[in-house]
Structure 1
Amino acid sequence: MAATEPSQSEIWARSDQYHNSFLLKPDPILDAAQEHTKARGVRYDISVSAAQGKFLQLQLLAIKAKRVLEVGSLGGYSAIWMARALPEDGELVALEVEKLHAEVIEENVRNAGLSSKVTVILGRAHESMKAMPASEPFDLVFIDADKPNNTNYFIEAKRLVRKGGIIIVDNVGRGGRLADENNSDAMLDGVRELLRHIKDDTDVEATTIHTVGEKGFDGFVYAIRK
């Protein structure tokens, strides 16, 4: 019997795993965080991939970041990646609307020995962001929350990030479906609205980087505040 050809998604996942076998070291703490998140009933499988977590960490190290804002932190997996890049007096502020998620973030961060660097704020992210003063700017804002609110989050992120700071908006590739305007749902429309907003926003320079891997075909917007 002829072997079944792997699907495109299987090829992407294998490629991720191959590269990770060289570039990412085994990490029991991160593995335990994912297992704990799953055990507590939170959808751990929609967090960033390990390679994406490492990318965020490298970005913070490259700009010598001290303050980070994460909009939507799920179970804290990406928060651990990023908090590890911060100096001892650094701070990551994680915004979460779900009480269970916020509890799991704090548990995972504590188990990772990073509680002194991570502050979790429970509530609607847009309202939490609007209440924050621009006088204490962040070096990077990572947006990974409900897609219909992408533009609202981006506008506040731009107010809260320092000049030269970075804004990353995750999950904007959407399997390549955005280009078909006849294909419409709340997720797609939220990304399209964000792209239209950025097009006319003279305060930022931005691009979309598409990605493939264990998370399928997706991508992120990478913007720098001028």
Structure 2
Amino acid sequence: MMLNNVWKDVDEYFIDKLIPSDVTLEGVLQANKEAGIPEIDVSPTQGKLLYLLAKIKGAKNILEIGTLGGYSSIWLARALPETGKVYTLEIEPEYAKVAIKNIQNAGCTSKVEVIVGKALETLPTLKEKGTFFDLIFIDADKPNNPHYLKWALELANNGALIISDNVVRNGEVIDERSEDDRVQGVRKFMDILETEPRIESTAIQTVGNKGYDGFVISIVK
């Protein structure tokens, strides 16, 4: 059996044991597929991890950079108290329309606000409004990861969690000569984490339905 098939099979085993079948979330993925949204959402196990981290943190305000069709937004919203809020940023208007419908179908409209536009243009508006966050999930275009991290630090409450997805890039992150701007974006992001005194971080390599990748989890001092 090919190794990547083992990864997928083990993921399916964990999903079967730990994550009950959810018609709503399965419907979100199907709606995204039908709308032509790239199938790059977090996996069910990763979505459940986001949910649990938000629960552990006791998050009330969550920022998500990169909505797609709202799959991870719903996972995060479900972890919030009744008065909690997810602000999720999406550059593509058509993706945002699908996400809003998915969020509505999941019964999470009151907990999720989809903000359409370039994140580097909408992030300053959150600071102007005095909106700060207990958990921030960075899962958008990787070349801008260094900029997203700087904004995350501007918008984070003390003790906030910052979670950054897709940092391993199938192992390419160690290639300093890579011509892939996504890899270089992640590397610059890592360089900031190495020297930034306001934040403590670790990285976890993952395998499974999403192949070989990983994430960084950080806490703001």
Q: Indicate the TM-score class for this superposition, using the shorter chain for normalisation.
A: over 0.9
| Deviations, residues 171-204 of structure 1 (Å, cap 9, x unaligned) | 0011111213233311110000001111110010
TM-score with structure 1 setting the length: 0.95
Secondary structure, aligned partner of 1:177: helix
| Deviations, residues 44-83 of structure 1 (Å, cap 9, x unaligned) | x200000000000000111111110000010000011110
Work out which of the residue numbers 96, 99, 102 in structure 2 matches 1:105: 99
The aligned runs of 1:40-189 (5 Å cut-off) are: 40-43=35-38, 45-133=39-127, 135-189=130-184
Q: Structure 2 unaligned segments of length 5 or more: list them.
A: none
Partner of 2:192: 197
2:176 and 2:184 in contact (8 A); partners too: no
> Over alpha carbons, which structure has the higher Rg?
1
Q: State the identity %.
A: 43
Q: 1:124 deviation in Å?
A: 0.3
| Deviations, residues 143-197 of structure 1 (Å, cap 9, x unaligned) | 0000000000000001101010011110001111121323331111000000111
**For the residues of structure 2 that align with 1:7 and 1:155, how far apart are their CA atoms?**
40
Matched residue count: 220
| Deviations, residues 103-156 of structure 1 (Å, cap 9, x unaligned) | 011000000011010001000011111221273311100000000000000000
**For the residues of structure 1 that align with 2:31 and 2:158, how far apart are their CA atoms?**
37
Secondary structure, aligned partner of 1:68: strand
**For the residues of structure 2 that align with 1:171 and 1:180, how far apart are their CA atoms?**
15
**For the residues of structure 2 that align with 1:150 and 1:133, how far apart are their CA atoms?**
18
**For the residues of structure 2 that align with 1:181 and 1:90, how far apart are their CA atoms?**
41
2:153 and 2:220 in contact (8 A); partners too: yes
Secondary structure, aligned partner of 1:216: coil
Partner of 2:21: 26
Q: 1:31 deviation in Å?
A: 0.4
**For the residues of structure 1 that align with 2:185 and 2:121, how far apart are their CA atoms?**
18
**For the residues of structure 1 that align with 2:175 and 2:96, how far apart are their CA atoms?**
36
**For the residues of structure 2 that align with 1:178 and 1:61, how far apart are their CA atoms?**
30
Partner of 1:3: none
Q: 1:207 deviation in Å?
A: 1.1
Partner of 1:9: 4
**For the residues of structure 2 that align with 1:177 and 1:105, how far apart are their CA atoms?**
31
TM-score with structure 2 setting the length: 0.97
Range that drifts further, 148-157 or 32-41: 32-41
Higher helix share: 2
